[in-house]
Amino acid sequence: MRKNGSLTNDQEVNYAANVAARGAVVGAAKWGIFSLVAGGVAWNYSPLFRNLTFQFKVFLGMSFMVLGSMMEADKRLREHEILVRNQKKILRDAEVWRRYEEDYQAQASASSREGRGRGGGAEKGRIDQSIRREE
């Protein structure tokens, strides 16, 4: 996790902000359409809703839009966080595997230069000596 850094120059943070902003716009649009439909239904069937002031009706519609934008932005940001976490895990695992292969290649080339091949003749001799001592 980052402790400090520039928010304007960090591509990862900027991309996450863009994902959240797109989610907010989509959520506001979805819930705005829902609030219009609900307002139309309420207008037709509810005398209470018809008697509300225009300003309060706008407030109710905007409340739905704000709620929808917050929920959709949060949902998309959580999905993006999981995606980035998985990508970083894959990169980290690939780096560990690459280092392991480099170490293995270095050990194999060192043992082939010494003429022992795999298994190491010197190690086998040490094991045989320790067995003989125990007997």
For tokens 């086998």, what's the residue? 124
**Do the domain assignments include residue 5?**
no
Q: For residue range 70-102, list pLDDT tens digits in order.
A: 999 999 999 999 999 999 999 999 999 999 998
**Do the domain assignments include residue 3?**
no
**Do the domain assignments include residue 89?**
yes
Both tokens assigned to 15: 């991309």
Both tokens assigned to 95: 């780096």
Structural domain of residue 44, as residue ranges?
11-134
**Do the domain assignments include residue 21?**
yes
Q: At residue 73, what is the residue type?
A: A
Q: For residue range 95-128, list pLDDT tens digits in order.
A: 999 999 988 888 888 888 776 555 555 555 555 5
What is the rounded average pLDDT for all residues in the chain?
A: 86
DSSP structure string for 8-60: TT-HHHHHHHHHHHHHHHHHHHHHHHHHHHHHHHHHHH-HHHHTS-HHHHHHH
Indicate the number of domains in the chain: 1
**Do the domain assignments include residue 81?**
yes
**Do the domain assignments include residue 98?**
yes
pLDDT of residue 90: 96
